[in-house]
């Protein structure tokens, strides 16, 4: 496997995150916002998006099991690291790198709703099109992409390529 065609450039991502950050700033003005990043993939999106949010935001992280080294989801979601804090009465915004099968977020939303946050919304940089998934309302979305395996900007293949500053398609060699 190797780095294939660039799908979304650094400039396009910067511009989109700035726009998303501006909307989030307007929507949460006067509210106590807690941004929750889903590790590991969301760490880069979270860091860059958060710097475009002009509010006194708090942060927390969750880690869930996903792909391992394969490129297809197992459908099984396991919490490896839970939130450090209670979210009852808080305005929670979940930040994800990509929505593929949607199983991770579907599970997380059910899991976090039970804790009775004041609000619970989703932000995702990438959404794969043409995928059958449980209904998910993504309030802040970046780009719709074709159903290909992509890397970069937090997204990995077998643990690598997360630090690519753009999103590229993973390509078979030969
Ligand atoms: P889900 O299938 O929507 O539950 O996605 C679960 C997780 O799989 C995402 O948060 C990503 O970390 C990972 N993932 C999904 N699609 C890709 C991809 O194209 N490249 C790299 N990781 C991916
Ligand atoms: Mg992830």
Residue ranges and CATH numbers for the domains of the chain are 11-148 (3.40.50.2020)
Q: For residue 62, report the distance from its CA to the centre of ligand 1, in Å.
A: 15
Q: Is 90 exposed, middle or buried (0-12, 13-18, 19+ CB in 10 A)?
A: buried
| Spacing, Cα 29 to ligand 1 middle (Å) | 31
Q: What is the pLDDT of residues 100-144, one digit of tens each?
A: 989 889 989 999 999 999 999 999 999 999 888 888 899 999 999
Give the whole-angstrom CA distance, residue 143 versus residue 12: 10
Residue 173: pLDDT band with limits 50, 70, 90: confident
For the cut 60, the answer to whether the pLDDT of residue 70 exceeds it is: no
Give the pLDDT confidence of 7-30 residue by residue, as tens digits.
Answer: 999 999 999 999 999 999 999 999
Which of 97, 100, 129, 132 is labelled catalytic? 100
């Amino acid at each position: 496997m190797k780095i294939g065609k660039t799908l979304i450039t650094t400039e396009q991502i910067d511009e989109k995150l700035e726009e998303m950050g501006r909307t989030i700033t307007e929507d949460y003005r006067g509210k106590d916002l807690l941004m929750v990043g889903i590790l590991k993939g969301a760490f880069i999106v979270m860091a860059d998006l958060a710097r475009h949010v002009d509010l006194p935001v708090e942060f927390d992280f969750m880690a869930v099991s996903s792909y391992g080294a394969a490129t297809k989801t197992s459908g099984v979601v396991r919490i490896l690291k839970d939130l450090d804090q209670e979210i009852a009465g808080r305005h929670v915004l979940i930040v994800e790198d990509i929505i593929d099968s949607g199983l991770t977020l579907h599970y997380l939303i059910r899991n976090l709703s039970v804790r009775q946050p004041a609000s619970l919304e989703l932000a995702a940089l990438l959404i794969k099109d043409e995928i059958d998934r449980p209904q998910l309302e993504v309030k802040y979305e970046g780009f719709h992409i074709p159903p290909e395996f992509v890397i970069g900007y937090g997204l990995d293949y077998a643990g690598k390529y997360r630090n690519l500053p753009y999103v590229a398609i993973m390509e078979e060699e030969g």
